[in-house]
């Protein structure tokens, strides 16, 4: 008998609204994630203290673990602290680093992970990947998808606006990532998952075409939903392909070549996505993307994040080395440094005209 459907790893609950964090205890009990209330909650060493004071009275059975950084060592330390305490679940309460540390720790001890995001800086909040710093720089580790995702729009508004802007760049970059995936399919026959591609692309398009901004609840909800859908698209695909293309290779190159000067993830991938769309000949799409990123206060030229043209050219030239085996427009064109420089000059002229 043929398989007529497939099971998609996804959270049992996604709660995105104002005041969602105040109902966290009830949500966990109602969904049978933690009827006993015995939880291990990972928070940041700094800003997490205020959230602990707010939530501790309604989560009396929880133990709180302060996480100092987003390293593999911190994740292992958290897992060691959690192990053997008979918790129902692990809660990652914070930004991307805290959630990634909690994801890895939960996977290591075999517990479900609840992601409670306090900012919308990137799509990792619901992805099956934990990105952690290690002795060799930064690594991506496969983990289960969170069992629940909670995003309180009131809390998101309290975070610096630059975090929301970063998430905008990350979401919009999906459009370029999926185009790279389709290119790899056309040129090399790489298998493409149509459902994962559709989810990632539509998440990006929804953010790209929404008329609102960072101070608008309706826009924040669309952005949050887009980031969650992007994470689920990676679960569907089985890897990061729907949301990682040339733009992310350029981002990784910035991080590796200029570790003390790198901008936010979303700023770098947004810039990379615009340039990648231009390289593939999609000039109108690149123009639209650049105009929307500018409207949200995001960079579209390297000097806007403190890099010279020469440094940008070097990053683009180095980018394919960051993801061996991944095929994008950069690998397809295989440009020399002089050709990259010429392409950038054309790009800068096009989006500035």
Task: Decide: 345 and 335 in contact? Cβ < 8 Å.
Answer: no
- Bridge partners, residue 14, by sequence: 149
Enumerate the known binding-site residues.
96-100, 118-121, 123, 127, 170, 248, 265
Task: Decide: 70 and 124 in contact? Cβ < 8 Å.
Answer: no
Half-sphere exposure of 224 (CA within 13 A, CB side): 26
Task: Decide: 15 and 22 in contact? Cβ < 8 Å.
Answer: no
Mind giving me the DSSP string for 64-85? EEEE--SBHHHHHHHHHHHTTS
Does residue 282 sit in helix, strand or coil?
A: coil
Give the C-alpha separation, 18 to 289, whole Å: 29
Task: Decide: 266 and 162 in contact? Cβ < 8 Å.
Answer: no
Calculate helix-pair angle for 161-172, 217-237, nearest 10 degrees. 50
Q: Provide the 8-state DSSP code for 144.
A: P
Enumerate the known binding-site residues for NAD(+).
96-100, 118-121, 127
Task: Decide: 10 and 112 in contact? Cβ < 8 Å.
Answer: no
Task: Report the chain's C-alpha Rg in angstroms.
Answer: 20
Provide the 10 A C-beta neighbour count for residue 262.
Answer: 20
Q: Provide the 8-state DSSP code for 145.
A: P
Enumerate the known binding-site residues for glycerol.
123, 170, 248, 265
Residue recorded with tokens 């209330």: 37
Residue recorded with tokens 């683009």: 316
| Element (DSSP H or E) covering residue 336 | none
Task: Decide: 245 and 263 in contact? Cβ < 8 Å.
Answer: no
């Amino acid at each position: 008998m043929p398989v007529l459907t497939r099971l998609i790893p996804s959270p049992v609950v996604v709660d995105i609204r104002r005041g969602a964090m105040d109902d966290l205890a009830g949500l966990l009990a109602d969904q049978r994630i933690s009827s006993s209330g015995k939880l291990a909650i990972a928070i940041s060493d700094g800003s997490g203290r205020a959230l602990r004071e707010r939530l501790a009275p309604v989560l009396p059975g929880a133990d709180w673990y302060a996480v100092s950084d987003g390293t593999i060592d911190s994740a292992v330390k958290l897992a060691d602290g959690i192990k053997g305490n008979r918790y129902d679940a692990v809660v990652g309460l914070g930004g991307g680093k805290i959630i990634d540390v909690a994801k890895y720790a939960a996977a290591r001890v075999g517990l479900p992970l609840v992601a409670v995001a306090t900012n919308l800086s990137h799509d990792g909040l619901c992805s099956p990947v934990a990105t952690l710093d290690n002795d060799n720089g930064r690594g991506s580790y496969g983990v289960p998808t969170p069992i629940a995702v909670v995003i309180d729009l009131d809390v998101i508004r309290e975070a610096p606006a630059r975090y929301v802007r970063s998430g905008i760049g990350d979401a919009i970059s999906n459009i370029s990532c999926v185009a790279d995936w389709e290119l790899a399919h056309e040129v090399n026959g790489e298998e493409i998952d149509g459902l994962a591609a559709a989810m990632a692309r539509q998440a990006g398009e929804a953010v790209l075409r929404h008329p609102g901004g960072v101070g608008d609840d309706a826009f924040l909800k669309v952005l949050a939903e887009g980031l969650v859908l992007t994470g689920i698209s990676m679960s569907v695909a089985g890897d990061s392909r729907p949301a990682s293309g040339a733009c992310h290779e350029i981002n990784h190159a910035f991080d590796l070549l200029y570790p003390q000067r790198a901008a936010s993830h979303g700023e770098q991938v947004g810039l990379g996505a615009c340039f990648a769309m231009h390289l593939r000949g999609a000039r109108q799409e690149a123009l639209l993307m650049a105009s929307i990123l500018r409207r949200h206060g995001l960079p579209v030229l390297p000097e806007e994040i403190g890099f010279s043209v020469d440094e940008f050219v070097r990053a683009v030239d180095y980018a394919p080395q960051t993801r061996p085996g991944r095929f994008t427009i950069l690998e397809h064109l295989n440009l020399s440094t002089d050709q990259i420089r010429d392409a950038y000059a054309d790009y800068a002229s096009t989006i500035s005209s």
